[in-house]
Amino acid sequence: MSARLRVVVAAPLAPELCELLTTREPRIDLIVDQALLPPMRHPADFAGDPSFRRTPEQQAAYEELLDTAEALYGIPDVDPASLARTVRANPWLRWVHTMAAGGGGQVRAAQLTEAELEQVVFTTSAGVHGDALAEFAVFGVFAGAKDLPRLAHQQRDREWSGRWLMSQVSEQTVLVLGLGGIGSSVAAKLSALGATVIGTSRSGATVPGVSRTVHPDDVASVLSEVDAVVTTLPGTDSTHHFIGRDFFAGLRPGATLVNVGRGTVVDEAALLDALESRIVGFAALDVFEVEPLPDESALWQHPRVLVSPHTAALDAREDRRIAELFADNATRFLDGAALRNVVDTVEFY
């Protein structure tokens, strides 16, 4: 337990949210210099305006503040190299909160030593994006069921084809890969619409709305049953290309794929082949193996792919939710309780 906690704000944070932090947890000594932080262009723009530049004197002042922190609100400049510099320069640093739900990847990229990873606990903003991403996932499942590409094509060409059958989400079986905060919200929303939801869980735990859970190693046993797949998986060594050629080979033809997790989970070359063979009837993708999605990617022009530029999680309330999460964790930190959303420094999620 600690009496006070010196928190340095390393990422853009509105003044009213600075006040929220110290109101929610009065034992925080909040250190923030707005002149040293880049202006935000939109909610949750934690990297800030790319044209922002500090003078050498400002950069020195910024680093001097970082090097006095016991806790950091945000990774400095959302830059793993800056994070590594700060950890190595600041022996008092004990906790860093990342703005991203997948902040473990940024921690991995900092290439910290085992001793440094033991010195500092890292937490993420996992969970604050759950409802927004779940809505996009539901949208993607509906778009596949209702054949949005065909509707868009016929409208563009003024083609009145006459009536044709559409699938009913209420009669579909949807596989949700990962039952964390996002997956749990997806399952709840889809089951409320009448869909049958199968989920994957390494622990065997289930959540409301899921009719059955399977271990990820056994996912092949259910692929022939599902009409749609929603992946909410983090980007780790064990999930890399989890959805690949073998996965697609087991799917029921015409299935919908929605990805609101991490782009590295899907083998995009295998996905394109699955689209061409109609194993995948429609794909709604908010994340990609390489971002921004390269101009030469065939996904841009594919008629049955919806490309979303990693924007499905953005919500006007996101900044406040992250601040509330941080304040709650600050109380836990000061009271010696377990923190929420601690990064696994083996898998980095």
Active site residues: 262, 310
Provide the token pair at 268.
């995009």
CB of 174 closer than 8 Å to CB of 190: yes
221 CB-near residues (< 8 Å, 6+ apart): 214
User: Residue 305: phi, psi to the nearest 5?
Assistant: -125, 135
The conformation of residue 240, written as its DSSP 8-state character, comes to T
Query: Coil, helix or strand for 29?
Result: strand
Smallest Cα–Cα separation from 28: which of 82, 80, 79, 70?
Answer: 70
Torsion angle, alpha carbons of 283, 108, 336, 14, to 10 = -70
148-to-143, 277, 284, 322 alpha-carbon distances in Å: 5, 19, 11, 34
CB of 224 closer than 8 Å to CB of 253: no
Which residues partner with 173 through β-bridges? 196
Burial 274-300 (b: 16+ CB within 10 A, else e): bbeeebbbbbbbbbbbeeebeeebebe
